[in-house]
Amino acid sequence: MDFSFFITQTISGLTMATLLFLVASGLTLIFGVGNVFNFAHGSFYMIGAYFGYQLVAVWEINFWLALVLAGIGAGLVGMLAEALFLRRIYGRPNEGGFQILLTYCFILIIDDVVKLVWGTEYKSLPRPHGFTGAVNFGDIFLPAYNLLIIGVGVVVVVAAWWILARTRPGKIARAAAVDREMVDTLGVNVPLTMTLVFGIATGLGGMTGALAAPLRTVTPGAGIEVIIDSLIVVVLGGMGNFWGAWLGAILIGEVNAFAVAFLPKWASLFSFLVMVIVLIFKPEGLFAPRQVRKV
């Protein structure tokens, strides 16, 4: 294998990894802070993609602005869903099961609402101006938009780390993850924090949907196929861990990229295989958060 192919394949793996991570980051955030497993996260990704399509292709709004608006839109839907429904089941016995059931209902409802609004036709978004071309280094050929996506991934992971580790809201969120009651006693409005966190997470999912739309198809059912893969990433990285999710995504992306190059027949088996192997040896994930002991 020559060097330029190695680089090209690595970068193409990174593109896939970054989009995986961006979806997974919202999932891991809700899980880490709120202990909520949002099965419908892929549906918020899909909503974001449709918002992006509506804003850019129909209303002809600037792509970058649309990206932000799509994220905000999906986040608002998410906050609504949390405040109206999800909040009511916190603290029930077997809450985990109810979370799966309830968020599964979100999937069913959102799928049909999207179909009612936008129909079943496939939609597509063109790549924004200035990012339609590619960068060349000799034999290495890198599409500008793919590089942009990788950049966004790095920005998100650093920003998330900075917010969670260094700012007050981030600290509150992390504290709420450890002991909700204690944070409540300290005078923090925990339900509101939860709704906001849910909004940010689904907003991230929505923005990713819009960001991925120029490379993918905007279609009903688009949410289902991203959810299992991002789940794998979240579990690999250790649930609730941002850096872990990022590294987990890169691991899956690169394993996949090189499996495609050398064992194309079996490539689709590898992501599950990696997950099984990692979980057998490190059930809590590669980069599990340090266990905080509750007294």
Partner 1 sequence: MTMKISRTNTAAALWCLMIIGFALVPVLMTSTYQLNLACHVLIWGLFAVAFNMLWGVTGMLSFGQALYYGLGAYFVGLMVEYLGRAWYLPAIGIGILAAALTAFLLGLIVIRVGGVYFTMLTLAFGQLAWQIMFKWYEFTGGDDGIQGIIPPGILANPIVYYYGLLVLVMISIWMLKRMAYSPFGLILRCVRQNPERVRFLGRRVRRNQLRVYIISSLFAALAGSLMAGVDNSIHTDMFFWTTSGEVILMSVLGGLNQFFGPFVGAAVIIMIEDIVGAWTEYWSLIIGTVILVMVIAFPKGLVGELHQLKLRLTQLRARRSQ
Partner 2 sequence: MRNKRLLVCLTIAFLAFIVVPFCASAEDKTIRIGAMYPMTGRAGLYGKDSVAAAEMAIDEINSKGGVAGYKIDATFTDSKAKPAYAVRVAKRYISEENVHFLFGVVSSGVGLAVTEISHQYKKIFIGTDHASTRLTVDNFQPYYFRVSNNTFQSMAAGALYLKELAQSKPWKTIAFIGPDYAYGHSQWDEIRYNLDRFGVPYKVVGEYWPKVFAPDYTSYITAILNDKPDVLVAGFWGGDTVAFIKQAQAYGLFQRMLYFHPDAGGNYELMSAMGAELPDGLVLGARHYDNWPETDLNRNFVEEFHKRTGRFPTYAAEGAYAGIYAIAQAVEAVGNPDDTEALVKALESLKIKLPEDPEGFTSYMRPETHQITQVMAIGTTVPNSDYPPAKKMLGNWKVYNAEELVPPVEYLKEKRQK
Residues at the interface with partner 1 (CB under 8 A): 37, 85, 88-89, 92, 94, 96-98, 100-102, 104-109, 111-113, 116, 228, 231-232, 235, 239, 266, 268-269, 272-273, 275-276, 279-280, 283-284
151 binds partner 2, rule: CB under 8 A:
no
Smallest separation (angstroms) from partner 2 to the CB of 200: 23
Closest separation between CB of residue 234 and partner 2, Å?
Answer: 17
Q: Angle formed by the axes of helices 3-29 and 224-237, to 10°?
A: 90
Q: Any idea which residue has 């944070």 for tokens?
A: 183
- Give the pairing of strands 140-143 and 134-137: antiparallel
Distance of CA 114 to the CA centre of its chain: 20
Nearer to partner 1, 88 or 171 (CB): 88
134, containing H or E segment: strand 134-137
Among 143, 205, 237, 238, binds partner 2 (CB under 8 A): 143
Does 5 participate in binding partner 2 (rule CB under 8 A)? yes
Residues in contact with 221: Cβ distance below 8 Å, sequence separation at least 6, in sequence order: 46, 111
Per CB under 8 A, 128 contacts partner 2: no
Q: With contact defined as beta carbons under 8 Å apart, do 200 and 75 qualify?
A: yes
Q: Helix H segments across 30-167?
A: 41-53, 63-84, 95-118, 144-166
Residue carrying the six token digits 């599950």: 272
Smallest distance, Å, CB 209 to partner 1?
19
Provide the residue type at 287 as one letter: F
Residue 116 binding result from partner 2, partner 1, none, given CB thresholds of 5 to 8 Å by partner type: partner 1
Q: Is 50 in the site for partner 2 (CB under 8 A)?
A: no
Contact flag: residue 60 with partner 2 (CB under 8 A): no
Among the residue ranges 63-71, 93-101, 240-248, 249-257, the one whose residues contact partner 2 (CB under 8 A): 249-257
Options 154, 182, 217, 284; binder of partner 2; rule CB under 8 A: 217
182 vs 177: CA distance, rounded Å:
10
Task: Please choose, from the candidates 108, 75, 54, 126, the residue with its C-alpha nearest in 3D space to the C-alpha of residue 221.
Answer: 108
- Please state the closest distance from residue 261 (CB atom) to partner 2, in A: 5
Which residues does residue 134 pair with via DSSP β-bridges, in sequence order?
Answer: 143
Contact 275, 232 (CB under 8 A): yes
Residues making contact with partner 2 (CB under 8 A): 5, 8-9, 12-13, 15-16, 19, 111-112, 115, 119-124, 126-127, 132, 134, 141, 143, 145-146, 212, 214-217, 219-222, 224-226, 253, 256-257, 260-261, 264-265, 267-268
